[in-house]
Every structure is written in C-alpha cells, then in structure tokens.
Amino acid sequence: MRTKRTRRLFVATAAGLLTLAVAVPALAQTPATFEVTVGGLSVSVPSGTANLGTRANTVSAGPVSGSLGEVQVNDARSAAAGSVWTASVISSAFGVVPASAVAYTAGTITKVGTAAYAANDPTHLEGVIPAVSATGITGDNSATWNPTITVTIPGGTPAGTYNATITHSVI
C-alpha cells in the first residue's frame, strides 16, 4: 500500500511541477542601440567690437593693445590618435595702419581633451597666420584663449578712430 501511495504522491508532484513550469511566462527580448555621430570642427569668437585702447597722438611710433575676447575651437570629429588642427588669424588694415603692424599673443590656453596645444604668437597679421595648433589629438577636444592684440601705431598717424576686422579660421 505504501508503494501505491508513494507512486501517487510522485505522480501528483510531477504533475504539479509540470503545471508550475507552464505557468512561468516566456521571455521576450528587444535589442536596443544608440549612435553618436561625428561632429565638426569649429571656431567661435566674441560678437561686438573689441576696444584696443587709446593712445595720445605723438610724432613717434608707439603701441596700443587690448584683449580681443575669448576665442574657442571645438573639435567634435572624434579624431583618431595623432590628428591635428590649426587655428589661423588675419587682420585687415586699421585705416592707414597696415596689418603688418598688428601682433597677436594667444595667452593662456584652457584645454579640454587629449591633445598638445601650442601658441604661435604671430608678430604680424598680414596674410593668414597660424595662431594656435593642436597635435597628438585623441577623441574630442577644445581649446579656449583670450588673445591680446597689439597695434604699433606709426609716428605721425592723424588723430581719429581706426577700425579693422580680425578673422579666425580653423582647419
């Protein structure tokens, strides 16, 4: 009698387990992805006019200088190791004062990302001249600096307000 009872108990347990197995929900999976696309290489400069100062009219030559405002290069190209970029600058003449009398000092470069940054500090802005470069780039990076512009005003320059345009580019 014990054997029948054990057998019934075994069959009932097995049937219960089968029922339990059927009651468990099936799994359904959905793969999900996202993509980060390659960005670009850009340069931004302050809007408005930078005031480089005032100098008294004299017979001898002399400098006037001031801050241009923050210049920033953003490189979101996800560059491969060893990539480079160069930010260049050029100035138009300040009326009778030629671009060859305009100097550019980058100053401190605030860096983000992996790269070696270097300032060229050109002594004139006649033609497109490299100002700041980045080498050994790995991934995205940026550099920000606040250049000082120094204009050597020739002796005998008439009194007046002189304007020029300073243009930055990056490749």
Count of beta carbons in the 10 Å neighbourhood of residue 75: 25
User: Does any domain span residue 72?
Assistant: yes
Residue with tokens 């009194």: 159
User: Does any domain span residue 1?
Assistant: no
Domain encompassing residue 124 = 41-156+163-170
User: Does any domain span residue 89?
Assistant: yes
For residue 94, CA distances in Å to 69, 101, 122, 127, 168 come to 18, 9, 17, 14, 17
User: Does any domain span residue 147?
Assistant: yes
Domain count, the chain: 1
- State the pLDDT at residue 72: 98
User: How far apart are alpha carbons 170 and 112 in whole angstroms?
Assistant: 17
User: How far apart are alpha carbons 67 and 51 in whole angstroms?
Assistant: 8
Local confidence band at 36 (pLDDT 50, 70, 90 cut-offs): confident
Q: How many CA atoms lie within 13 A of 2 on its CB side?
A: 0
User: Does any domain span residue 81?
Assistant: yes
User: Does any domain span residue 149?
Assistant: yes
User: Does any domain span residue 8?
Assistant: no
pLDDT in tens, 75-103: 999 877 789 999 999 999 999 999 999 99
Q: Tell me the pTM.
A: 0.79
